[in-house]
C-alpha cells in the first residue's frame, strides 16, 4: 500500500510540474503598411487567445491596450514614437519586445 501511495504522489508531482512548464512565446512583425502584427502562444502548444497585450511608450505609459484574438494574434497601428510591446500572461509569463526590434 505504501508503494502505491508513493507512486501516486510521484505521478501527481510530475503532472503538476509539467502543467506549470509552459514558456510564453511572442513575435511581432512590421507589416510594412503602418501596422504591426504580433503572434503569441506557449511552448506546450497552448493558445494565447485572451492574453493581455500592451503597447508602451518610452516612459512606460500605455499607448494601447488589448488582447490576443481567437487565433492568438494582436494587430495595431505602429506608433510614431519609441515603443515596447508587452505580452502579459501573468507574473513570470511576460514577453517584452522593443519596437526597434520589430522589422519588416
Q: What CATH number did the domain enclosing 29 receive?
A: 2.60.40.1930
Provide the domain limits for residue 77.
23-101
Quick check: is 71 in a domain? yes
Whole-prediction pTM = 0.78
Quick check: is 16 in a domain? no
Given this model, what pLDDT does residue 29 score?
97
Question: Across residues 10-28, what is the average pLDDT?
Answer: 63
Quick check: is 5 in a domain? no
Q: How far apart are CA 36 and CA 79, in angstroms?
A: 9
Given this model, what pLDDT does residue 22 score?
86
The answer on pLDDT for 15 being more than 50 is no
Quick check: is 4 in a domain? no
C-beta atoms surrounding 51 within 10 Å: 24
Quick check: is 40 in a domain? yes
Cell numbers placing 39: 503572434
Q: What residues does 75 pair with on adjacent strands?
A: 37
Quick check: is 10 in a domain? no
Given this model, what pLDDT does residue 20 score?
54
Q: How many domains is the chain partitioned into structurally?
A: 1
Amino acid at each position: 500500500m505504501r508503494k502505491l501511495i508513493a507512486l501516486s504522489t510521484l505521478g501527481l508531482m510530475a503532472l503538476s510540474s509539467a502543467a506549470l512548464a509552459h514558456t510564453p512565446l511572442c513575435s511581432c512583425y512590421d507589416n510594412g503598411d503602418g501596422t504591426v502584427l504580433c503572434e503569441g502562444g506557449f511552448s506546450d502548444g497552448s493558445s494565447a487567445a485572451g492574453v493581455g497585450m500592451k503597447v508602451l511608450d518610452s516612459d512606460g505609459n500605455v499607448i494601447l491596450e488589448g488582447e490576443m484574438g481567437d487565433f492568438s494574434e494582436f494587430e495595431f497601428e505602429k506608433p510614431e514614437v519609441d515603443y515596447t510591446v508587452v505580452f502579459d500572461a501573468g507574473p513570470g509569463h511576460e514577453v517584452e519586445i522593443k519596437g526597434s526590434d520589430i522589422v519588416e
